[in-house]
Amino acid sequence: MRTSRSSAALAQGPSTINPQPSHTLHEIPPPKPLILLPDSTPELIRDIIECAIENGLGQVEEVKQRKEALRRSNNESGPDTSDSSRLSLMGIRSAFKKTKDLIVSKPDSSTNGKSKHRGLSYFSRRNEDSQCIGCLENVKRPIRSPCNHFYCDMCFNKLILAAVQNPIQWPPKCCRNTIPERSIEKYASTDAICRWRRKKEEMDTPGDQRVYCAVKDEKTGELCNEWVGVSTNDIAAEGTCPKGHKMCMCCRGPAHGIAGRCPGKYKVDPGEEEQVLRQLAAEEVWQRCPGCKAYIEHTGGCVTMQCRCGRRFCFSCLGKAGRCSCTSSTIKQKKVEAQKERRMRLKAEREIAERERIQAELAQRRRERELAQKSAQETGREEIIELLQDKLALIKEIQRVALERQQELELEVLRLGGTLDRREDLRERG
């Protein structure tokens, strides 16, 4: 039945077929419902659509010219209208596909799923002078991002180095979109590229395999904490941090000196900051990613979590996503228990602090009482000494007066004795 109809249609000849008029992209009218809707499209989306349409028009015209040249060479009259419509649609589809690739970058297959950040696909130079978003200075040929932000070379390097120095800002972003590696390699300085590569190597390494310098500074007593490399089971493997400290890559402690072989007995002290972080993670019910060991917080929704390293797991049991019976109520119960434990801990800390305050107050009072007694004893001793000194002075004065009186008496005796002797002599002579 279908064959007879198609044969009849062919028998009627080309005069019975109504040819469709050829349209360009600007001549095709939009749907009426779309015209009635208010234009609330963001400016960035409009720019993307205009760019896509321009790219599509250019490709369609190029393909049409090639087709026409090919048909002219084959003595054909011209392009078929159906082919023209098909080419127009193909041009629009390919243009939008290219525009999507410009906005969202695909993950590199060479990373094996370690880094799957969605981000900007390119940065470019602008020939016109523009204001830098960082320093607000007008610069020549600034670096332009797809989100229409402009950076001078110095601010672009600062953006990269800020992400290198602060793990919270990693990887480098502009408008929450990751800056692609090829843009960093192209526009950043040599020093920024070297530091970015080292940080990227560190962050691409799973957290449980990273080795950080555990040597303490002699002046401050703080750990160096510079990234050294990837841990290994080789008992003779050593690594050197950027500050020159040697580390054992097996036990993650300082190198073992002349022996050179790890005894496997060294344990790194987590330090006060790490202990505080672990306590905070336990109270806030943070979990560590089974893949990269990064801390993750659950703020709402289902139990399935996806880390920035690409690992999907259950936030409650840390098992593979979709293979457990955990629900969001399980997490809520854990948070309630954690808050209860936190209140108990704070209460115990307050009791300990109050006990220590009372003990300190009693000790202070005891010291004050002892000082008062000691002061009183010192005062009494000083009074006794003063009294004895006064008595000694009085005795000395009495002795002086008695000595003077004795001398006077002796002189009086001598004087009287001399007088008596003279009287006797006179009596004997008379």
- 367 falls within a domain: no
Q: Do residue 88 and residue 179 come from a single domain?
A: no
3-state secondary structure the chain: CHHHHHHHHHHHCHHHCCCCCCCCCCCCCCCHHHHHCCCCCCHHHHHHHHHHHHHHHHHHHHHHHHHHHHHHHCCCCCCCHHHHHHHHHHHHHHHHHHHHHHHCCCCCHHHCCCCCCCECCCCEECCCCEECCCCCCEECCCEECCCCCEECHHHHHHHHHHHHHCHHHCCCEECCEECCHHHHHHHCCHHHHHHHHHHHHHHHCCHHHEEECCCECCCCCCECCCEEEECCCCCCCEEECCCCCEEECCCCCECCCCCCCCCCCCCCCCHHHHHHHHHHHHHCCCEECCCCCCEECCCCCCCEEECCCCCEEECCCCCECCCCCCCHHHHHHHHHHHHHHHHHHHHHHHHHHHHHHHHHHHHHHHHHHHHHHHHHHHHHHHHHHHHHHHHHHHHHHHHHHHHHHHHHHHHHHHHHHHHHHHHHHHHHHC
Task: Answer for the pair 285, 295: CB distance below 8 angstroms, yes or no.
Answer: no
Single out the residue in 103, 133, 153 at which a domain terminates: 103
pLDDT recorded at residue 362: 92
- 211 near 247, Cβ under 8 Å? yes
Distance CA 392, CA 197 (A): 91
Q: Do residue 243 and residue 129 come from a single domain?
A: yes
Question: Domain check: are 98 and 128 in the same one?
Answer: no
Closest CA to 145 of 282, 270, 44, 287: 44
Angle, helices 43-73 vs 81-103, to 10°: value is 140
Would you say residue 191 lies in a domain? yes
Q: CA-CA distances (angstroms) from residue 268 to 158, 219, 247, 255, 271?
A: 34, 20, 11, 12, 9
Co-location of 157 and 239 in the same domain: yes
Identify whether 386 is part of a domain: no
Same domain, 29 and 137: no
Looking at the structure, tell me whether residues 243 and 142 fall in a common domain: yes
Domain-located, residue 130: yes
Q: Does 419 fall in a domain?
A: no
Nearest CA among 26, 205, 186 for reference residue 122: 186
Look up residue 3 and give its two tokens. 């064959």
If asked whether residues 91 and 36 sit together in one domain, one would say yes
Report yes or no on 356 lying in a domain. no
Q: Which two tokens stand for residue 186?
A: 């192209």
In a domain, 299, yes or no: yes
Sheet hosting strand 124-125, strand order edge to edge: 124-125, 143-144, 150-151
CB-based contacts of 278: which residues, under 8 Å, 6+ apart? 270
Give CA 164 to chain center in angstroms: 9
| pTM of the predicted structure, to 2 decimals | 0.40
Cis peptide before 171 (omega within 30 of 0): yes
Looking at this protein, which amino acid is placed at residue 60? V
163 and 244 housed in the same domain: yes
Together in a domain, 237 and 134? yes
Residue type, 125: R
Q: Residues 306, 310, 313, 316: what is their CA dihedral angle, to the nearest 10 degrees?
A: -50
The phi and psi torsions of 223 (rounded to 5 degrees) equal: -70, 150
Q: What is the pLDDT of residue 41?
A: 61
Q: Do 60 and 31 share a domain, yes or no?
A: yes
Which residue(s) pair with 238 in the sheet? 248
Structure tokens at 272: 């006060």
Our count of domains for the chain comes to 3
Same domain, 213 and 302: no
Q: Report CA-CA distances (Å) from 59 to 105, 116, 158, 339.
A: 22, 31, 39, 62
Between the two ends of the chain, the Cα-to-Cα distance in Å is 208
- Sign of the alpha-carbon torsion through 173, 181, 104, 45: positive
Tokens at residue 19, please? 């040819």
Ranges of residues in the chain with a pLDDT under 70 are 1-122, 233, 235, 258-260, 263-274, 309-310, 430
Residue 84: inside a domain, yes or no? yes
> Could you tell me if 175 and 242 lie in one domain?
yes
184 vs 178: CA distance, rounded Å = 11
**What was the pLDDT predicted at 277?**
76
Q: Which residues pair with 124 in a beta bridge?
A: 144
Domain end, chosen from 292, 326, 360, is at 326
Q: Which of 291, 310, 326 is the last residue of a domain?
A: 326
- The domain containing residue 302 runs over which residues? 271-326
